Structure 1
Amino acid sequence: MPRPRESPDPSYGPPPAHWGPPPPAPWGAPPAPPAPAPWGPPPFPPIPPAPQRNWKPAVFATLAAVILAAGAGAAVLWPARDEPAKADAATAPARPATPFELVAERLQKQAEALTKGDEKAWLAFVDPAKKTLVTRYRTMFRNLRTLEISHAEFHADKLEGTTATKVVTQAALGYCFSGVACPDWRKNYDEGPAKVTYRLTFQQVRGQWVITELNDQAGVENNYLQPAPWDNRALTFVKGKRVIVAGPSSQAKQLKQVLALAEKAAKVADRYAGYVNNPQRRYRVYVADEKGWKNWYGGIKEKWVIGYEMPLNSTGGDIVLRAKSSADRGQLAVTIQHELAHVVTLAGGTWETTDDQWLVEGVAEYIGALPRKPQDTGNHDVLTEAFQRRGMPKSIAVPSLADNADDLTVNTLYAMGHYATACMAAKFGDRKLLQFTNLVLREAKKPDEASRTAYGKPFATVDKACLSWIRDRV
């Protein structure tokens, strides 16, 4: 299951801050997503739990985290209903639809209203007497429409408490943005489209089944994509050619600065996306105030994280930046470019990258720092200190971080990854570096197989050559 990729705050802790995107400095750190919650009682089996957020992001001046994906077209899969009986003596009359089936149909029409941009129809499924609930649904609609939602589908389970006059459901909303190819529905949170789940109560008002109550606590507890930034808070937006930037109204002035830097970084990310045939329709960047930072996607507790990228399964990823840590324009630019690099090098992959954190963060560091070389960034100082205190690692593929890793260990992983990817780029070119990266991170190949395919050499040979290359430059 996907884990967020974080950017460390370079000013945090004893080790020098990196310019590239390792662990959080004013811009972020990587949390591990919680286990997905079951969709509810039969007819659907419970959703297998997603892994808990437990890995510590590397400490680098600009790190980011990764998260989930979505589907295509406003469609909903519901329990099949009987075909209407034909009016002849040979067939029995069709049975009337059950209250749950009627509610399921209503949810399907609400998803269609969302993708069509029909706010009036979307709100027609909410009890107008519940003013707070209406406001939440209006906010959700306007945020999602501005974020260019292009696919929405509801899937529901009937829950206990359903009667002839009340229907209680566990409803999952799957979504995709900006016209991406939405994957087929899957019940797991880390497969198919990105999802949010709600416990909804329907009752009849003037002869129509409408939503009278929404409870999202079950989803928030088990789904690492909840609460989403767009879900329950009005956002302010600015849009460029390639990037949408959003945040609370208090951050309105900062959004334009972030957009300018993100548009520039997107040109770099697009080039590398082309190398791995993973073009992105749009990039999305959220600027979080302290409330959003502690709440969105489960929140970030580590003080050294300044930004992260949350994968939306196979359909891309969202970038979240901490507004409080965005004063340094140079560091902010690197953080954004690092996080966009995570999107293009990871989206649509297998997500089984636990053993390859050196490459996950290394290639993001490499792309994030461009056009600077690693020896012209804070990573040079990190490795100088690390080599003096602990000696040089035996391989460029340094072990992934333990939960209790200290600052120097975290910084060393990011810095070694930066130097290692820069070495491979210097020896074989960017295109082959990205081919190697793609094989390992998105196609789940082992480094040796990927190295033989991309470089025509065993990984052990490349590893030895790059250790020597790094030693000459530190």
Structure 2
Amino acid sequence: MVLTLSVGVPVVLLTGGVSDVEVGEPATAASPTENPTTVAARQVAERITAQLDKQAAALLGGDRSGFAAIASSAVRPDLRRRFDALRALRVTHWQGRPSGLPTSAGRAGEWRVSIEFQYCFVVPNCQPSPMAVETRWRDGAEPRLLTFPKSKSSAYVNGRYNGQPGVLPWEVSKLAVLVGKRVMVASTPAHRDRLPGLLKRAEAAAKVADSYVVAGAPPDLYRVFYAGPKEWDRWYGGDQPEWGAGYAVNVGGGHHEVVLAPETLGYGPGLDEVLRHELAHAASLPDKSYWDDSAWWLIEGLAEHAGADGQPVTRYEGLVPTRGLVKGDWDGKLDKLLPADDASDEEVAGTYGIAYLAFRHLVDRFGEERAFAFFKAVVHDLRLPAQTTEEIFDESWASLRKECVAYIRKAVR
């Protein structure tokens, strides 16, 4: 018989006869018979993995036909277009693996399986971004990919981003790309002529954003995508508020991609502020993006501070709409600032202004180091302001919030 000690180590007790197992030699238990369906699924997964490895080698080696060769003829045009987009983005790492065992697709010899891809752009040894898609295959000595849908967005779980943001630009669009020292900019070929100017301005913004890292190292590369009207409604799920000029979206692996709205290239100097703001998000937000309405003021306040780039408060562009909101019906609460998707431009500008002034007060009074420590505690570590201000600022949150509100009201008088 076999007894188990509390630490989980099997102890063999002999109940009679002579044992063939010498002292100190581990006993080997017979493996139970594996379910034939599981065995078959595992073998299919191994054959699919071999095909995915061939596809990866083709992509990294510049073999367009080889990249598409693992698929049926109906899927190959889409794979060839994806190949072109990924090569334009200078893909440096690509790997696909089944996520779990395949299951029957309902027809003999056909299987469904989720494939997780890991990829890098430009930087050879980056932390890869993940992307999962549900696929269908026809089995054989070399399985054939029958369906390869676009990726879908995943929900947030317990305040943390737990998946992927929706359709990625390279899944659905032809892309033109330029790469600088710190930034990659991309758009559709229709906007190719705008990319040199955008890259120059994004590189300048990246120098500012690099100083807004609150934990770890700066991003290895900032990724900026300019969206035309069609792309704005399609990329990353396309569900953006009417007033949005851009956003930073978490694509996993420590990367946030910046998307600029169609009209932003006509903003003149305002584009520089938008770029500094969004790249600061990419630099400051955690790998597993936190989203909580009560922290919106802090997230956007830091980004607005980066956008302002050290200019005096009196020159802040949103000061007039901020004054209107503060002297109107604002109740003095910071944790309720997030504007509705259909809010007016004036209301949106005012809420961003309040967030900026609140964060500006923290910086002016305590310095960037402690302001960033507060940001990290609340946004990265998911601690409430009331749990952190005593140790970071030597002041209660109730007292500090009142100071921020007084500072805001004074600034817009």
TM category, shorter: 0.7 to 0.9
Residue from 177, 180, 203 that aligns with 2:126:
180
Alpha carbons 2:378, 2:385 under 8 Å: kept:
yes
Alpha carbons 2:110, 2:136 under 8 Å: kept:
no
Partner in structure 2 of residue 106 of structure 1 = 50
- 1:395/1:471 CA distance change after superposition, 3 Å: same
Residue from 113, 116, 119 that aligns with 2:63:
119
Partner in structure 2 of residue 354 of structure 1 = 293
The 5-angstrom pairing of residues 244-263 of structure 1 reads 244-263=184-203
Structure with the greater alpha carbon radius of gyration: 2
> CA deviation digits over 1:151-193, x for unaligned, max 9?
53322452433555433434332434433334xxxxxxxxxx5
Shift of 1:100: 2.0
Alpha carbons 2:258, 2:278 under 8 Å: kept:
yes
Distance (Å, rounded) in 1 between the aligned partners of 2:154 and 2:380: 28
Alpha carbons 2:248, 2:282 under 8 Å: kept:
yes
Alpha carbons 2:313, 2:411 under 8 Å: kept:
no
- 1:413/1:122 CA distance change after superposition, 3 Å: same
Partner in structure 2 of residue 209 of structure 1 = 143
The 5-angstrom pairing of residues 62-461 of structure 1 reads 100-110=44-54, 112-113=56-57, 116-117=60-61, 119=63, 121-127=66-72, 130=73, 133-145=75-87, 146-156=89-99, 157-161=101-105, 165-177=109-121, 178=123, 179-182=125-128, 193-202=129-138, 204=140, 208-211=142-145, 213-216=146-149, 219=152, 225-273=165-213, 275-300=214-239, 302-349=241-288, 351-390=290-329, 393-402=331-340, 408-461=346-399
Distance (Å, rounded) in 1 between the aligned partners of 2:243 and 2:112: 42
Partner in structure 2 of residue 85 of structure 1 = none
After alignment, is 242-251 or 463-472 more displaced?
463-472
Shift of 1:396: 4.3
1:181 aligned counterpart, secondary structure: coil
1:154 aligned counterpart, secondary structure: strand
Alpha carbons 2:386, 2:397 under 8 Å: kept:
yes
Distance (Å, rounded) in 2 between the aligned partners of 1:350 and 1:167: 34
Distance (Å, rounded) in 1 between the aligned partners of 2:398 and 2:167: 44
Alpha carbons 2:97, 2:117 under 8 Å: kept:
yes
Distance (Å, rounded) in 1 between the aligned partners of 2:228 and 2:337: 34
> CA deviation digits over 1:49-89, x for unaligned, max 9?
xxxxxxxxxxxxxxxxxxxxxxxxxxxxxxxxx9xxxxxxx
Alpha carbons 1:246, 1:285 under 8 Å: kept:
yes
Alpha carbons 1:265, 1:333 under 8 Å: kept:
yes
The letter of the residue matching 1:171 is I
1:208 aligned counterpart, secondary structure: coil
Shift of 1:267: 0.4
Distance (Å, rounded) in 1 between the aligned partners of 2:261 and 2:338: 25
Distance (Å, rounded) in 1 between the aligned partners of 2:286 and 2:297: 17
- 1:307/1:385 CA distance change after superposition, 3 Å: same
Alpha carbons 2:206, 2:276 under 8 Å: kept:
yes
Number of positions where the alignment pairs a residue of Structure 1 with one of Structure 2: 363
| Unpaired runs of at least 5, structure 1 | 1-81, 83-94, 183-192
After alignment, is 392-401 or 257-266 more displaced?
392-401
Shift of 1:404: 6.2
Q: RMSD of the TM alignment (CA)? A: 3.0
Shift of 1:114: 6.4
- 1:401/1:161 CA distance change after superposition, 3 Å: same
> CA deviation digits over 1:405-459, x for unaligned, max 9?
5555433321111001111111111222111111111111211333223322222
Partner in structure 1 of residue 16 of structure 2 = none
- 1:330/1:378 CA distance change after superposition, 3 Å: same
Alpha carbons 1:162, 1:168 under 8 Å: kept:
no
Shift of 1:376: 1.1
> CA deviation digits over 1:179-220, x for unaligned, max 9?
3334xxxxxxxxxx531313233355xx53222x22416836
Alpha carbons 2:246, 2:258 under 8 Å: kept:
yes
Larger relative contact order, structure 1 or 2 (CA cutoff 8 Å, min sep 6): 1
2:318 aligned counterpart, secondary structure: helix
After TM superposition, the score normalised by the length of structure 1 is 0.68
| Unpaired runs of at least 5, structure 2 | 1-30, 32-38, 156-162
Alpha carbons 1:396, 1:466 under 8 Å: kept:
no
The 5-angstrom pairing of residues 31-42 of structure 1 reads none
1:277 aligned counterpart, secondary structure: coil
Alpha carbons 1:224, 1:298 under 8 Å: kept:
no
